[in-house]
Amino acid sequence: MNAHNTSLINSLLLILISLWGYFSSETPSITAFIPAIFGVIILLCYNGIKKENKIISHIAVVLTLIVLFALFMPLNGSINRGDNSAIIRLSIMILFSVLSMIAFIKSFIKARKNKS
């Protein structure tokens, strides 16, 4: 799968799953919207990624990396609380962020090879 498609899937999942987490929580917190905000910004980068704009692609990579690392703390808290629903939601977001990073790295390697 190419970088723009995985980025699109990742951004949509970040948005939808964080909304699911907020609205399904017994004690919703505004911080549940943080992945959704990152998802919206990454989604706004979609056309630039699809057109292989280097600057926009790198911005999307940085945002994906930030959200990837930021999801580990809530995952740890969910594990400690034994909140299986949150563990599943966070694990899905982490998994697709990792897949998106892999797709970006592959596309960057391919672009470098094509340049040479």
Domain layout of the chain by residue ranges: 3-115
Residue whose entry in the numeric block shows the structure tokens 């948005």: 15
pLDDT at site 33: 95
Contact status, residue 67 vs residue 35, Cβ threshold 8 Å: yes
Is the four-CA dihedral 75, 79, 80, 84 of positive or negative sign?
A: positive
DSSP state of 71: T
pLDDT at site 28: 86
Contact status, residue 85 vs residue 17, Cβ threshold 8 Å: no
pLDDT at site 14: 97
pLDDT at site 15: 97
pLDDT at site 69: 96
pLDDT at site 99: 96
Helix segments in 25-71, DSSP class H: 34-44, 46-50, 54-70
pLDDT at site 103: 95
pLDDT at site 82: 94
Q: What are phi and psi of 93, to 5 degrees?
A: -65, -40
The low-confidence residues of the chain, meaning pLDDT below 50, are none
Other Cβ atoms closer than 10 A to 107: 19
